[in-house]
Amino acid sequence: MTRKQRYQFVIDYFLHHAPDAETELLYDNPYQLLVAVILSAQCTDKRVNMTTPAIFEKYPDAASLSKATFDELFPLIRSISYPNNKTKHLIGMAQKLQTEFNGQVPLTVDELITLPGVGRKTANVITSVVDQQPNMAVDTHVFRVAARIGLTLNAKTPFAAEKQLIQNIPKELVHIAHHWLILHGRYTCVARNPKCEKCGITEVCKYYQKEVKPKKG
């Protein structure tokens, strides 16, 4: 099987089985999504979704969040991983939105990564989810799943994986492919003991063909 055929099989599978895949973070606007994604670093979406309602109620926009003090915001995100850093990042992010972007979330990767707490992965999430730009956010799930299936070859870094995925996925599908891979990694192709018996793409998966199938046969 060629790499092109592998990609086509995976794309066709998810187009059929997950045509409406989307982020599991709950949000109503770009500002809320940005806050949620910053909080989601090394934290589950479920925990973030439990935490953000109180934040959005008290700080409904960048203007109000920019005026928050550390002691006011910290208790609201205490249950999130790395709450100290994320509290500082959220306040700094909101302040920069106010001073440099008129309180609006910019929708280019280059502008987004100038905000505190926003790296390339977060910027790719925002632009792909809000604006359906062909940007691929590579988190641990995407990195693992793409390598296991064989979509990426010898990609040592998330950026290397991102470039390979972008090159091989049709531009108009990149934004949703991000969710396909994340959700597949979150619920099926998990880090330990992947649920290959429930997976619909084992036919083209390098990991399954090399590690699992021989043991069964």
Residues known to be catalytic = 121, 139
43 is in an annotated binding site: no
196 is in an annotated binding site: yes
189 is in an annotated binding site: yes
The token duo for 110 is 């280059």
Give one DSSP letter per residue of the chain, joined into a string: --HHHHHHHHHHHHHHH-TT----S--SSHHHHHHHHHHHTTS-HHHHHHHHHHHHHH--SHHHHHT--HHHHGGGGTTSSSHHHHHHHHHHHHHHHHHHSTT----SHHHHTTSTT--HHHHHHHHHHHH--S-----HHHHHHHHHHTSSSS--SHHHHHHHHHHHS-GGGHHHHHHHHHHHHHHTS-SSS--GGG-S-GGG-HHIIIIIHHHH-
Q: Measured between alpha carbons, how far is 191 from 145 in angstroms, rounded to an integer?
A: 9
Residue ranges of the annotated binding site are: 189, 196, 199, 205
Residue ranges of the annotated binding site for [4Fe-4S] cluster are: 189, 196, 199, 205
